[in-house]
């Protein structure tokens, strides 16, 4: 991927977005990571250990499944990249596994993370158990109450869940606590971030760990269709890690249309949404310059989506750049449309998707792909965690 204007430059920017806007006290931690991450990730022994765990622990490669009935329904060729079949039920483990191996190489013994809905916390607690590392997960007090099953999972896996008691007691407050912890423990502690967000080098590093998704798609698609690229790749975007991974090896291939799907919640202009590419303006969140939902005077707007994983007020800088350059088309899908698409997949293919992934599925209604075209949809996770929501809304799909 040489000369790729969609990958990060030496300064940590994608076009005008990215960078590392961090407190002075955090500089040594981030600088240690920036100096070392590429060297470590590219070591053959690192690659060997990562690939072996991706295969035997995560269950990769995840299948690329030709969804016959979905294809008939939409009169095109739909392939589902089955990240839902990964250990722990989503793509997040690709990243946490990569980062914990990196932390080990850096000589760290203690892992911290922040989590909103708890899914990144669970993926982090999982790899900490695997690697015998101490694990502290910061979580807003409000989220701890809302997400009791994931809190229980983290504890079962041996993690300590610390409530963030300040502000709105949700994700951004948990992030502040995690940063404070990292400043206080610069030597032994590594901070695992869960999406393509945060200061450079996190967005690039996370995108590289998730790029296994599109690397596999190329091989699998060549086997199944004789062509190693599709006409479309469709993925949902919260922070944007599963989309970055699914797009990664196609970013320079203009034959491939990249479709990023955000959560419109109750409607883009309802005041209850997370459609950052439409509503956002450039600003700084979690240490990087990107598109951000904010008020006139720069206060971050509370995002909303029925799906916890898409409920984020920004997007990673890579997506801000893909949006700005027009390389990816950004769409948004409401709660209702996502639910309908989730129920459709259940009935047509016998697969219960995560509510996040259902946003990508809903975009198939609008896409109008042609009969001979090939579309790959990244099914980022499974629906077990969303059963309560599905049950409460089931009347809609009946």
Ligand X SMILES: *Cc1c(COP(=O)(O)O)cnc(C)c1O
Q: Could you list the active site residues?
A: 92, 114, 380
DSSP string, 340-370: HHHHHHHHHHS--B-HHHHHHHHTHHHH---
Q: Is 193 in the site for ligand X (CB under 6 A)?
A: no
Question: Which residue from 349, 356, 363, 386 is in contact with ligand X, where contact means CB under 6 A?
Answer: 356
Write down the least CB distance from residue 65 to ligand X, Å: 16
Q: Is 354 in the site for ligand X (CB under 6 A)?
A: yes
Distances from the Cα of 87 to the Cαs of 93, 211, 307, in angstroms?
Answer: 7, 17, 20
Q: In the complex with ligand X, which residue's Cβ is closer, 58 or 236?
A: 236
Record the tokens describing residue 54, joined without a space: 């991706």
Task: Give the CA count within 13 Å in the CB-facing half-sphere of 349.
Answer: 23
Q: Which residues contact 198 (CB under 8 A, 6 or more apart)?
A: 286, 287, 288
Q: In the complex with ligand X, which residue's Cβ is closer, 77 or 274?
A: 274
Write down the least CB distance from residue 121 to ligand X, Å: 11
Closest residue by beta carbon to ligand X: 381
Question: Which residue from 309, 313, 314, 317 is in contact with ligand X, where contact means CB under 6 A?
Answer: 309
Question: Which residue from 237, 261, 293, 320 is in contact with ligand X, where contact means CB under 6 A?
Answer: 237
DSSP string, 45-59: HHHHHHHHHIIIII-
Which range of residues in 74-82, 247-255, 265-273, 349-357 is near ligand X by CB under 6 A? 349-357
**CA quadruple 316, 20, 284, 182: dihedral, nearest 10:** 90
Q: In the complex with ligand X, which residue's Cβ is closer, 220 or 241?
A: 241
Write down the least CB distance from residue 84 to ligand X, Å: 7
Q: Is 377 in the site for ligand X (CB under 6 A)?
A: no
Q: In the complex with ligand X, which residue's Cβ is closer, 104 or 217?
A: 217
Q: What backbone phi and psi angles, to 5 degrees, belong to 334? A: -80, 165
How far apart (Å, rounded) are the C-alpha atoms in residues 247 and 258?
7
Which range of residues in 62-70, 219-227, 240-248, 279-287 is near ligand X by CB under 6 A? 240-248
Q: In the complex with ligand X, which residue's Cβ is closer, 90 or 331?
A: 90
Distances from the Cα of 380 to the Cαs of 37, 95, 151, 383, in angstroms?
Answer: 25, 13, 21, 10
Determine how β-strand 64-66 pairs with β-strand 77-82: antiparallel
Q: In the complex with ligand X, which residue's Cβ is closer, 189 or 357?
A: 357
| Interface with ligand X in residues 60-99 (CB under 6 A) | 90, 92
Nearest residue to 280 via CA among 270, 265, 295: 295
Which range of residues in 138-146, 182-190, 232-240, 275-283 is near ligand X by CB under 6 A? 232-240
Q: In the complex with ligand X, which residue's Cβ is closer, 80 or 104?
A: 80
The DSSP call for residue 294 is: B
Q: Is 290 in the site for ligand X (CB under 6 A)?
A: no
Q: What ranges make up the beta strands (E) of 110-250?
A: 110-115, 134-140, 160-164, 189-191, 232-236
Which range of residues in 151-159, 165-173, 291-299, 350-358 is near ligand X by CB under 6 A? 350-358
Identify the H or E element spanning 339: helix 335-349
Write down the least CB distance from residue 319 to ligand X, Å: 9
Record the tokens describing residue 42, joined without a space: 């590219």
CB burial readout 89-123, b (16+ within 10 A) else e: bbbbbbbbbbbbbbbbbeebebbbbbbbbbbbbbb
Question: Which residue from 97, 236, 344, 374 is in contact with ligand X, where contact means CB under 6 A?
Answer: 236
Write down the least CB distance from residue 316 to ligand X, Å: 7
Write down the least CB distance from residue 322 to ligand X, Å: 13
Which range of residues in 73-81, 138-146, 233-241, 271-279 is near ligand X by CB under 6 A? 233-241
Q: Is 381 in the site for ligand X (CB under 6 A)?
A: yes
Which range of residues in 58-66, 174-182, 236-244, 334-342 is near ligand X by CB under 6 A? 236-244
Q: Is 305 in the site for ligand X (CB under 6 A)?
A: no
How far apart (Å, rounded) are the C-alpha atoms in residues 102 and 190?
9
| Interface with ligand X in residues 92-151 (CB under 6 A) | 92, 119
Q: Which residues bind ligand X (CB under 6 A)?
A: 90, 92, 119, 195, 236-242, 309-310, 354, 356-357, 380-381
């Amino acid at each position: 991927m040489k000369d790729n204007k969609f990958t990060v430059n030496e300064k940590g920017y994608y076009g005008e977005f990215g960078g590392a806007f961090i407190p002075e006290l955090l500089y040594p931690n981030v600088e240690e990571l920036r100096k070392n991450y590429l060297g470590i990730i590219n070591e053959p022994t690192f690659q060997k250990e990562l690939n072996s765990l991706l295969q035997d622990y995560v269950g990769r490669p995840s299948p690329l499944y030709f969804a016959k009935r979905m294809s008939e329904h939409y009169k095109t060729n739909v392939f589902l990249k089955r990240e839902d079949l990964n250990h722990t039920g989503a793509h997040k483990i690709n990243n946490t596994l990569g980062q914990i191996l990196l932390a080990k190489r850096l000589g760290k013994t203690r892992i911290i993370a922040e989590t909103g809905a708890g899914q990144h916390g669970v993926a982090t607690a999982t790899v900490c158990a695997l690697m015998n590392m101490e694990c502290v997960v910061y979580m807003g007090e409000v989220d701890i109450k809302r997400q009791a099953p994931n809190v229980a999972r983290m504890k079962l896996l041996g993690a300590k869940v610390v409530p963030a008691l300040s502000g709105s007691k949700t994700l951004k407050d948990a992030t502040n606590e995690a940063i404070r912890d990292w400043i206080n423990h610069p030597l032994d502690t590594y901070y695992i971030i869960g999406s393509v967000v945060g200061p450079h080098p996190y967005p690039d590093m996370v995108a590289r760990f998730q790029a296994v998704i599109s690397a596999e798609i190329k091989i699998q698609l060549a086997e199944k269709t004789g062509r190693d690229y599709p006409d479309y790749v469709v993925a949902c975007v919260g922070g944007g890690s599963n989309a970055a991974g699914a797009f990664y090896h196609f970013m320079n291939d203009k034959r491939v249309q990249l479709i990023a799907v955000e959560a419109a919640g109750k409607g883009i202009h309802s005041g209850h949404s997370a459609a950052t590419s439409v509503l956002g303006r450039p600003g700084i969140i979690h240490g990087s310059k990107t598109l951000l939902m904010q008020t006139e005077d720069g206060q971050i707007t509370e995002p909303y989506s029925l799906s916890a994983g898409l409920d984020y007020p920004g997007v990673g800088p890579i997506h801000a750049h893909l949006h700005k350059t027009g390389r990816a088309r950004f769409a948004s899908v409401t709660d209702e449309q996502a639910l309908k698409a989730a129920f459709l997949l259940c009935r047509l293919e016998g697969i219960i998707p995560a509510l996040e992934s259902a946003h990508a599925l809903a975009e198939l209604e609008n896409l109008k792909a042609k009969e001979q075209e090939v579309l790959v949809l990244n099914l980022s996770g499974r629906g077990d965690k969303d059963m309560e929501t599905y049950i409460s809304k089931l009347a809609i799909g009946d």
